[in-house]
Structure 1
């Protein structure tokens, strides 16, 4: 027995066939947890078992944190550098509190730049992120050097360079997460 094509109906939810996608509310849980979870998961990448003679793996948590802050200025509060930095310290092996301090200072610097700048474009954001990445990594090297003898700071040059070059990729990932976060 042959079933006519017109008799086959695809299951649809009632009232959704012609429902408008405008004026819907986004999920508050999704809007709040995606930035937080992405920074924490990016910080966890440093705990992967990757072996090298010197520091090479970029601080993905810092890159994601700066990406969210520079892309969406009002999303993260000023004090958010402390908990995110402390979470990063747990996974990176730096002295506890060093990233909390340095990420907070980075957040304050971005706030000062935002309050004084009329507008920013992508290249200026990349320059701001590059300077902050270098400053945070050198600051972490200095703080770690207070506890024990630190090597020459030139050891950090490949890590700083790789971090600056990977920043646009992290911004792209952050933009994709942001579009998913704002989708209904």
Structure 2
């Protein structure tokens, strides 16, 4: 005898909502950018730019998901959360995504190691550019050697973050 209160809804033929499909990656990048606003006390920049890391992970994992212009609003949100000069992440993230698009159109196929290399170069570019913009806008005279550990930590953390984005992506497309 089947209990009428236990209603089984088949998942075949159902699709996830548009908000779930389009909003989940954006929300995860914004949450990553929000992590820089947490009260962490340190002598130097050790916390990786999670917003950038998640943006690169989504872009390399799902190239069809976003166009390069998505870096404009997400970079602005990151600038507001991180305290960087307004427009620095907007410019750097957009340039990084445009370069990734350019590389993607030139490569016949890409593997995991190429994605890691692309993310490493984009990370070094964005962190160096952020350091440069902070320096020229009067954010202090911080030595570049103080942000180098942040770059290394961010590059080493990329495989973990892209794996988490893949896990979230499986949930995102599941009906």
TM-score computed with the length of structure 1 as normaliser: 0.90
- The whole-number CA distance in structure 1 between the counterparts of 2:12 and 2:60 is 27
TM-align CA RMSD: 1.5
Matches within 5 A, 1:24-173: 24-148=14-138, 149-173=140-164
Long gaps (5+) in structure 1: 1-5
Q: Which residue of 2 aligns with 1:3?
A: none
Instruction: State which of 1, 9, 20 in structure 1 corresponds to 2:3.
Output: 9
Q: Which residue of 2 aligns with 1:180?
A: 171
The alpha carbon displacement at 1:24 in A equals 2.2
The alpha carbon displacement at 1:10 in A equals 6.9
Which consecutive segments of 4 or more residues in structure 1 shift more than 3 A? none
How big is each residue's C-alpha offset from its partner over 1:82-139, in whole Å with a ceiling of 9 and x where there is no partner? 1100000011010011000000000001000111000000111001001110110000
- The whole-number CA distance in structure 1 between the counterparts of 2:13 and 2:111 is 30
- The whole-number CA distance in structure 2 between the counterparts of 1:25 and 1:180 is 12
Long gaps (5+) in structure 2: none
Number of paired residues?
Answer: 174
Q: Which sits farther off after the overlay, 91-100 or 24-33?
A: 24-33
Q: Is the 8 A contact 1:141 1:150 kept in 2?
A: no
Q: Which has the larger radius of gyration?
A: 1
Q: Is the 8 A contact 2:25 2:58 kept in 1?
A: yes
- The whole-number CA distance in structure 1 between the counterparts of 2:162 and 2:132 is 27
- The whole-number CA distance in structure 2 between the counterparts of 1:12 and 1:155 is 59
